[in-house]
Amino acid sequence: MALDLVAAAKERGIRYFLISFVDLFGVMRAKLAPASAIRDMSRAGAGFAGFATWLDMTPADADMLAIPDPDSLIQLPWKPEVGWVAADLWMGGQPVAQAPRGVLKRQIAAAKDKGLAMKTGVECEFFLLEAGAHAIADGADRATKSCYDQGALMRRYDIISEICDAMQTLGWGPYQNDHEDANGQFEMNWEYADALVTADRHAFFKYMVKSIAENHGLRATFMPKPFANLTGSGCHAHVSVWREGRNLFEDPEDELGISATCRHFMGGVLRHAEGLAALTNPTVNSYKRINGAVTLSGATWAPGSITWAGNNRTHMVRIPDAGRFEIRLADGAVNPYLLQAGLLAAGLAGLAGSADPGPPLDINMYTHGGSVQARRLPANLLDALRAFEADETLRSTLGESFATAYLRLKHQDWAAYARHLSSWELETTLDA
């Protein structure tokens, strides 16, 4: 039975609820409702003007209602009198077809119809910047190879430990934190879970990191490539598919420890990668990470081509261990719900068509990628949007209403960028 929010408010001392949803651009929106109103809000939902968010609606549309999912309740660890709940969006008595959490729930239901459940873990990288500037907050964090730098990590102990303690309290099972490959960049890992749980936690994690950083006078950013010469922020996802408590991706007889089911699912992800990139790499800036030049540290750690391998981080898909694969495509800007929805849609299509990923390619793609015939990832957001448009399987599986709304807004995004006059153009073209 679902949790009763009225009772939870009384028992846990919750004074306010954030009734929250993530729109198509990954923006977290909310209304703050006093606990005295949560009974009605749970039934009728909190009202929003859809056009005021990125959901491809019009000002003439009726009220959009956000109905909280009580099972997603999280008390803000840094302000426990506030309870955050993920909400599902409704309009005119129907679920909003393009709402990201709804898109994911439909994919989960489609998997469930086949007796399958996808479990995932995400690795969210982020930078800690000075509050009001485009600059790394720690002036001493300047090493060329700054990955795992203990000194730089411990100078941020207060923030990192506060976030990790919070995850501990929330029962997420955090297990490690580190300084990542770029100066000012960090990563925090917690246990994998069912796709919807991971998506809600991923959405909340971003909000939590930003909030706690702000409380410490800093700014956290998940922007894919905030500094041209440094490694960007990825959001690697570890994927497995389960049936009745058994991991179907595991095969102890296989050289890499992965089953035919894993290969077919992964084959689907590889087959649809160009279109998938429109979701996993959703911003103009995203393509400066996956198609980036070599960074100060010596590697971008991001893929450029659609290939897979064993335990080799230069490919788009890696098999780090038996029973799962890691997809290294998505970046910090990815919508937590659309990441999971896209992977599930592509993977299920792969299973349905017994997609063959071919043999693993165990070469260093950064140095020898040019010697093999491999499909390249889209060069920019426009290429990715066109690939998604052309991918009928992905589009119809995720839903035409969603695809149409997403593509319309993202094309507007691209058009705004294309109209923008950059300093690079002025520098290189004034003397034309």
Cβ of residue 31: shortest distance to Mg ion, in angstroms?
A: 34
Which span sits near Mg ion by CB under 5 A: 187-195, 284-292, 310-318, 339-347? 187-195
Q: Kindly report the backbone phi and psi dihedral angles of residue 202, in degrees, each rounded to the nearest multiple of 5, phi listed first.
A: -60, -45
Cα(175)–Cα(156) distance, rounded to whole angstroms? Answer: 17
Nearer to Mg ion, 30 or 299 (CB): 299
Cα(302)–Cα(291) distance, rounded to whole angstroms? Answer: 8
Cβ of residue 7: shortest distance to Mg ion, in angstroms?
A: 40
DSSP 8-state secondary structure symbol assigned to residue 380: S
Cβ of residue 229: shortest distance to Mg ion, in angstroms?
A: 18
Question: Quick check: 187 binds Mg ion (CB under 5 A)?
Answer: yes
Closest to 76 (Cα-Cα) out of 238, 207, 232, 215: 207
Integer angstrom CA distances of residue 351 from 11, 115, 249, 329, 394: 45, 13, 12, 20, 14
Nearer to Mg ion, 187 or 391 (CB): 187
Question: Quick check: 331 binds Mg ion (CB under 5 A)?
Answer: no
Cα(381)–Cα(284) distance, rounded to whole angstroms? Answer: 5
Nearer to Mg ion, 149 or 187 (CB): 187
Integer angstrom CA distances of residue 13 from 9, 10, 69, 79, 363: 6, 5, 19, 11, 56
Nearer to Mg ion, 8 or 302 (CB): 302
Q: Are the C-beta atoms of residues 170 and 200 closer than 8 Å to each other?
A: no
Burial code (b: 16+ CB inside 10 Å, e: under 16) for 4-24 equals ebeebbeeeebebbbbbbbbb
Cβ of residue 125: shortest distance to Mg ion, in angstroms?
A: 5
Which span sits near Mg ion by CB under 5 A: 9-17, 53-61, 183-191, 202-210? 183-191
Which span sits near Mg ion by CB under 5 A: 38-46, 139-147, 182-190, 377-385? 182-190
Closest to 101 (Cα-Cα) out of 77, 72, 126: 72
Nearer to Mg ion, 23 or 187 (CB): 187
Cβ of residue 218: shortest distance to Mg ion, in angstroms?
A: 20
Cβ of residue 96: shortest distance to Mg ion, in angstroms?
A: 34
Q: Kindly report the backbone phi and psi dihedral angles of residue 300, in degrees, each rounded to the nearest multiple of 5, phi listed first.
A: -85, -20
Which span sits near Mg ion by CB under 5 A: 113-121, 181-189, 397-405, 424-432? 181-189
DSSP 8-state secondary structure symbol assigned to residue 37: G
Nearer to Mg ion, 88 or 187 (CB): 187
Question: Quick check: 149 binds Mg ion (CB under 5 A)?
Answer: no
Nearer to Mg ion, 53 or 314 (CB): 314
Cα(400)–Cα(122) distance, rounded to whole angstroms? Answer: 27
CA 46 to chain centre: 25
Which span sits near Mg ion by CB under 5 A: 184-192, 360-368, 376-384, 410-418? 184-192
Token pair for residue 251? 């095969």
Cβ of residue 309: shortest distance to Mg ion, in angstroms?
A: 17
In the chain, the N- to C-terminal Cα span, in Å, equals 69
Cβ of residue 398: shortest distance to Mg ion, in angstroms?
A: 27
Which span sits near Mg ion by CB under 5 A: 141-149, 186-194, 222-230, 415-423? 186-194
Size of the site for Mg ion (CB under 5 A): 1
Cβ of residue 408: shortest distance to Mg ion, in angstroms?
A: 33
Q: Is 428 helix (H, G, I), strand (E, B) or coil?
A: helix
Q: Are the C-beta atoms of residues 318 and 202 closer than 8 Å to each other?
A: no
Nearer to Mg ion, 38 or 182 (CB): 182
Cβ of residue 88: shortest distance to Mg ion, in angstroms?
A: 31
Nearer to Mg ion, 177 or 397 (CB): 177
> Which residues are near Mg ion by CB under 5 A?
187
